[in-house]
Structure formats: C-alpha cells, structure tokens
Structure 1
Amino acid sequence: MFLFFLILVSIIVTIIDAVTSLLWFITLLGQKSWPKKFWFIALSSLIAVHFLSPLIPEGYYTTVNSSCYFIILFGLACYFMRHLPKRIIALFSLLAHLIVYWPKNLYTTLFPSPSILLTNILALTTLSILSLFLVLAFRKYHLRWYSTDYLSKHQTFTMVLLCTTIGIRVLNDMIGYWFINHVFIGAIWLDIFILMLICSLICVPIICNQFWRLKLDLRNHEVTIKEINNYAQALEQTNITHHYFQHDYKNILASLECAIVARNFDDVENIYYTLIQPTKSLLKCATIQNLHFIDSASLKGLLVLKHHQATQKRINFTIEITEHINFKRFNNILDIYRPLAILMDNAIEAATASKDKTVHVIFIEYEQHIAIQVKNTYLTAPDLMRMHQSGFSTKTDHQGFGLAILQQFIEKYPFMELSSELHATPKTFQQNFTIQKNL
C-alpha cells in the first residue's frame, strides 16, 4: 500500500513539474495559449523523460535530464512558433527548466540526507505545488509585459542573456555531478546566487522592454503633438483667410451691384472671374472659427483632436470663438482640459447615435467668467436628475462614470460650475461650463 502511494505521488509530482515547466516557458515567451497538440506532445515527452531516468547513470542524470527538457521545448516551439527567433526560444526553454528545479536544489542543499522517506516526498510535493502556484500568479500579470519584442530587436542583449543562462545551466549540472559523487555537499550561498541570476534573467528583459516601449510611446506622443500643432496652425491660417474674406465680400457685392445696375456685363464677368471664383472654396462654412483666439496650446490641441475624431465619425463638429480668451491666468490648464475633454467626448458619443449628428462648442469671455457651451443632438433624452450619478448612462454598454467624475472634479474646484439644458425642438442637449476669473 505504501509503495502504491509512493508511485502515485511520484506520478503526480512529475505531471506538476512538467506542467509548471511548460507554463513558465509559454509565459516567458509572452503567449496566451498554445495548440492542444503542443501540450499533448510536450507533456508526454517530459513525463517520459522523467520515468526513463532510472536508465541514466546517477552522476549524469542532471545533465541528461536538462538536455532532454531543452531539446523537447526548443524543438516543439520552433515547430509551432516559427516566427520567433531561435535564440529567444533557446533562452526561455533553458530558463523554464532552471526555475522549476531551483527549489528542489535548495531543498537538497538544506536537507542532503533526509532520515524519513515520507517527509522527503511530501516536501518535494509541496515545493512542486508552490512552484505551480507561483507560475500561475506570474502568468496573470506577465502577459501584459511581453519581452519578446524587445529581445527580437536587440540581438546582442539576447545573446548575452542566453550565454548567461547556458553558464548557469552548466554550473547547475556540475554541482549535481559533484553532489552525487560526494565532492560537494551544497552551499546555501551558491543557491541564493543562482536564484539572483535567474531573477535577473527574468526581470531585466521585462524592465528593458518597458523602458523601450515608454520611449516609443513618448516619441509617438511628440510626433502626434507636432502633427496636431501643424494642423492647428493650418486651421488658424484658413480661418484668418476666411475672416478677411468676410470683411471684403460686402465691397465685392457693392461693386457687382453697381456693374449690374449699369448693365456693364463686362465688369460683372471681370468681377466674377477675378474676385468671386477664386474664393469659392472659402464660401463653405468653417468648422473651427478663430482658433488663434485661444492662447493655450494644450486646449488648441484638444479642440483639434476632438474635431478630427468627430469628423471621422461623420459628425458636424463646429467650434466658435468670438474673441481672444486668456487662459494663461490659470496656474494649471489641466483643471480646464480634463472637464472639457469629458464634455466633448460625451457630446460626440451622443451625437453619433442621433439623426442630425451635430456638436457645437462655443467659447465666450465675460468680465467675470469664461463660458464654454457644448451642444449636441441626441437620440434619447438624458435624465437631468440622474445623469450625474455614478454608473448612470443612457448609452448601451457604457459604464457611465464620465459625468459623475466630472461632477466630483468640479465640486473640488469652487471656481467651476456646470449646468445642463435640454431642448426638445430641435433635440439638443447643452452643457454650460463656467470658469470664474477671480481665482
């Protein structure tokens, strides 16, 4: 009965170790899942290697076992994941085996000659289960970090990590050989040193990958800001030209009227072709008027960005600024940026579902305050009594936290006020965002 129990525990521990090795391997590679065929072949092969271990001479068991693990993982991954560089597959196949068997090496160092066989088996089983839980916890978060992209683009760094892993693997095999032949009894400091190297091999690529991605995001952000500024400048120039045309069109019409009254059709033709036809493109209504009246580059960028997003959704998004507005008096422009962004996002989303698909933003500066009106058409009228409650929304699959967060944000700053108006004809919803000047 006891022998049957030992065999059963041995089989369970072997399966747990094989599963743990595979989970570490695919997690380090940044894969969410692998084909069932891969799992079947890999698990069968790893378990078979373990049960064939009695045929291997005791002194060479560690080397042969680790080599077989490496060959199985490396070969199967090269077949199923052909797009990944082989050096990365080799690195993580070696590292997965090292992680799984380090706790057992530590146990052997601490208790080289256990007096009770049952205690030894239960301890190894506990270590295997803990290793499995560790990889499951690590897998839950690591899949967001993906280090393979960074390693694929930095070959020298990858080769350094691979050579380091091979060195640890050789050292581990040598220690196993010396331990079996009673040349080396094990040292806790050596196990701690190997653990530090293993943790470095896991963490360093992750940290480097995150830093690399952050640099890419910052670079992309700078490019986006530059494009937005260029777009804003182009819009400003167009609006200035449109503004000048508005001043000139009365004179053009007066000249045209005189030519018609005098029946001088040659002058009519000349006025049309020289003054009117070249400005036909300017006769279209500008969607952003007098953007240069806003002195904040951040708010300009926000308005241009929302205008672009709305245009992509086929929404008639217009911005009207009647006079120069000084936002530089505010210490932190983000206090205005964030509420305005939420208001425009909600307006765009509501207008998308409406029939007329219209959003109109108006900036007006008064003596004591600045008023920003955000109007949008709607399909379903919002409930003005409940709309600022957290979680309430009339939109399908929408969490509804935007206006609630906005309300909390405005309550935090006494110089801000927000009111809402609902109009049935036409079906428009208006948010009045007021900013007091005397801060």
Structure 2
Amino acid sequence: MAFYLLHNYMDFIVPLESMVYDISKYTVIATFLIYFIFLMIERFSDLDCFMKGAHGIFMLAYSLFAILISFLAVYTKKAEYKSKEEKNRMEYLIEYSEQIEKSYMEIRKFKHDYKNILVSMENYIQSNDIDGLKHFFYSHIKETGILFDQELLEMSPIRNLEAKEIKSIVLSKLYLAHEKGIEIDVNVPQKLDSFPVPSIMLVRMLGIILDNAVEESSIIDKPKILFAGLRQEEAITFIIANKCRSDIPDLHVLKKKSYSSKGKERGVGLSNLDELVQLNKNVYLDTKIEEGQFIQILTIWEG
C-alpha cells in the first residue's frame, strides 16, 4: 500500500514539474512576441492611447504570470521535498525489515542447531549408550564449543537491552561474529529499555556499525569486538570497538560514499551512517582509530 501511494505521489510530482517548465517556456515566448508587437505598433503615432492601455494590460498579465509561476515553483519544491522524505522513510522501513528478517533467521538457525544437539544426546540416553554419549559430547560438543560456549555465556549482559528490536539486531550480529571465530566482549551493566530516537533509526545505525566491525574483524588475526551500552545522566551511549588492520585507510577515505573493503557496491559504508546520524539532532557519532582499534561511540541525548 505504501509503495502504491508513493508511486502515485511521484506520478503527480513529475507532471507538475513539467507543467511549470511549460508555463515558464510559453511565458518567455509570449513576452518576446508581445514586445515585438509593441515595437511595430509604436511606428504609428495615432495609436498612443491604445499603447498606454495595452501596456498596462501587458504589465498586469505579466505580473500575474510571474506570481503563478513562483507559486507553482515553490509548491513543486515542497512537494518534491515531501516526496524525497517519504522515499527515505520507505527505504528505512525496508532496511529495518531486512535487518529483522536476518536477525530472525540467524537466531532460528542457532535454535535449530541447539535442538539437533539435544535430540542427538537424547538418542544416546534412551539407548543407554553412555560411552557413545561421552564420545559424542567430548568430540562434537565440547571441542567445538557448540554448547555452553564461554563466549556465548559472556553475551548474557545483552539481556539488559530490554527493547526487543534493539536486542535482536545486536544479538544476531554478535552471534554471527562468534560463528566466525571472533572474540566477543559485551558490557551492558544497566537496563536499557527505551531510547529517545526512532527504533528503525537505531536498528539501522547499530546494524551498520556491527556489520562493519564483523567485516573488518574477519580479515585480521586474533579479532575481537567490544560492545558496550551505558546509561549516563542525560544520554545513552553505545561503544563498539574492534581490532583493525595497521594499514586501514584514513577516516576521510572510509567515509566516502559506497566505500567498502568488500569492493565496489558491496557493504554499507560510514557515509550512510553519517547520513542517519545527521537526520537525528540528538544523536552524536564519534569515530576514531587508536592503537590498532577502530572505535565508534554513538551517543543519544535524552530530552
């Protein structure tokens, strides 16, 4: 429905812009024609009275045309701005839905793997095959760290993120990092249940930051990602830090539109993140590279 309305709105804007252009074009042509006619009429001295009247009518008509064109131009710009805003909101909604869907699929995969492990263990127990159960546990579970992995247990502070949509995106990204063999350190000491920024925006911002952290961590040795969420007196701060390459490009390069270490037109760069931050006056992003760490501090001011 939203796509249909947006499509119809754009169909209305385009003809309106064309109409303004046509009116402007024909007004210029008419101005030159009338001016040429007046020059021809001035050759006849006995038409002075007619010239004065015609000149007044011409000025009035020209003024009305100018006012009409100005009104249409302003109206078109406003409509174009609203259309752009609606398009942006639609894009945010689509990306938000995609992030939620990815989170759901990743968590579903984890639950599926966990269930399969329990079923396998149950079969050993039902058949009273204790030796087989021990072998299965030590060779397939403990060694691979699938069940009760210490790093997964260390993610438990994430429970303090009580906003489900925020917890979902963070948990899914950190679990993806864990699957890639990246060390995870989570610190959310206080309950964070509400945020003074639209959920869609925060999901997108955290999703971009964590995606980039996982992307960078997957190409270095001994990778590690730190995620912290802190409530201060008048603000909520998220800190995401990851080990990075020694030859990582400068920030002004990373912030170029469409930049990604994955290659052209792949990944989501810092420029997209900056655009989201600029849309929210109470959000501040500090990005820096210090001592082999790529650090992003996202501060959301309350009130």
Larger Rg: 1
Q: More relative contact order in 1 or in 2 (CA 8 Å, sep 6+)?
A: 2
- TM (norm. structure 2) is 0.49
